[in-house]
Structure 1
Amino acid sequence: MISVTWKDHPEEHDYPAAADYLELLAEPEVVDAVVAELRDAPIVHKKAKDLLRAAGLELLGAENPHVRRDLIKINNGTALSPILLVRGDFRTGVPMVIADGYHRVCAIHWADENIEIPAKIAALR
């Protein structure tokens, strides 16, 4: 079994990165509220395979430079940052959004799809 080291909290730069992506999907005031909720959210653990399914995203190839960088970090025992998520709604067909950490999710999936990834989840209101 592959061992992955995780940081206790997302890196500070992950929040603006999440906001930058989310601004493509929602108005600034909505993004501000979601990022504030992410900052306060507790860490939960979810499997890589379930995260990709819930987001409706393709698994990026191991040759992707960002995925490869994270695979190297895993192999070197370098701690990875937890990911930031926005909850979807299966009742209305809204997928979950990986606001920050898509490449990390893909790298973990390549290492072992059943590894649980620490994440913070906010609701889109």
Structure 2
Amino acid sequence: MKTSVKKNPLTRDKLWLKEPEIHDFPAAQDYLELLYEPDKAQKIVEKLKKAPTITKKSKDILRASKLALLPETNIHVKENLKKVEKNKKLSPILLVRGQNELIIADGYHRLCCSYYLTEDLEVPCRLI
């Protein structure tokens, strides 16, 4: 499935919000509580809230996370692609440096969406 978005010149400012949305942080905490005790997960999220928003390439984030690229047919990836087609911006992703891999605390589907649009585009993220 090819999206019509690929025909338009994409820029970071067209695709991404400047700062994460407020609901991204509780979602990150829910995920991180699967990996860490709740107190530690909460402390990580507090650090993410204070971290500056930086940019990294989607292909590098995906490689560092060691996660598979979700298919374009994944419901959440498709929803994000539709958002972009409607000129709605995506929220930056929340990243945590793990022992030997990058943890995508929130934004895995948005990352996969951006990869399908262009793997070289800089993705806004918070990284701690």
Global fold match (TM > 0.5): yes
Match runs of 1:67-106 below 5 Å: 67-89=77-99, 94-106=100-112
Structure 1 residue 24 corresponds to structure 2 residue 41 = no
Distance of 2:85 and 2:57 partners within structure 1:
19
Distance of 1:59 and 1:6 partners within structure 2:
19
Which blocks of at least 5 consecutive residues in structure 1 are unaligned?
none
Structure 1 segments, 4+ long, off by >6 Å, are: none
Alignment-mate amino acid for residue 99 of structure 1: A
Out of 26, 30, 34, the residue aligned to residue 44 of structure 2 is 34
Structure 1 residue 2 corresponds to structure 2 residue 10 = yes
Structure 1 residue 121 corresponds to structure 2 residue 122 = no
Alignment-mate amino acid for residue 105 of structure 2: A
Distance of 1:69 and 1:97 partners within structure 2:
22
Per the alignment, in what secondary structure is the counterpart of residue 2 of structure 1? coil
Distance of 1:40 and 1:84 partners within structure 2:
12
TM-score (norm 1): 0.90
Q: Give the CA RMSD over aligned residues.
A: 1.1
TM-score (norm 2): 0.88
- Residue aligning to 1:109: 115
Instruction: Quote how far apart the aligned CAs of 1:75 are.
Output: 1.7
Alignment-mate amino acid for residue 107 of structure 2: G
What is the percentage of aligned positions where both structures have the same residue? Answer: 47
Instruction: Quote how far apart the aligned CAs of 1:30 are.
Output: 1.0
Higher helix share: 2
Match runs of 1:44-55 below 5 Å: 44-55=54-65
Q: How many residues align?
A: 118
Deviations 1:3-52 (A, max 9, x none): 44221211111000000000000011111110000000000001110011
